[in-house]
Amino acid sequence: GMSVELGRVICVTDPEAARRRDAHFLAHDADPDRALPPIPPPRLPEGFLHHTPDGALGEGAGLLSLQGRVTRAGRTGLLDTVTDEGFVLVTTEDPRASLGAEGLARLDAQILHLVPAGRAGQHPY
């Protein structure tokens, strides 16, 4: 998080690296917005997230993302305006393959299967 990233900037023990850091800050008028490295975006560390076969979080899993316009049941708008309140499982795959009918029922979630525009069809889950 932010504390770790700032620690990497502040706690430099190599004199030459500290000199380069200080010169970089001074070259940017010591303005943190211009001189500090970008802070990684917040990420959900656990939960119902996509993982790769080796157990690592999949690309984009747990990260904030843009909210695109979607069409659902004839309504087009931002995702939170075309879904009901509650948990929404957004997926590009058929969730029955990994969760099964019992797992889906236990989630008690709305299933939103994302497909390219114009390819909407009937999905029995």
Q: What is the amino acid identity at position 125?
A: Y
Cα–Cα distance for residue pair 22/28, rounded to 1 Å: 10
Q: Label residues 32-70 b or e (16+ Cβ within 10 Å = b).
A: eeeeeeeeeeeeeeeeeeeeeeeeebeeeebeeeeeeeb
DSSP for residue 71: E
- The answer to whether the predicted template modeling score (pTM) of the entire model surpasses 0.95 is no
Q: Domain limits of the chain?
A: 2-35, 69-113
Task: Give the three-class secondary structure for 99.
Answer: helix
What are 51-94's pLDDT values in tens digits?
899 989 888 888 887 788 888 888 889 988 888 888 888 888 88
Mean pLDDT, residues 34-55 taken together: 83
Task: Give the three-class secondary structure for 60.
Answer: coil
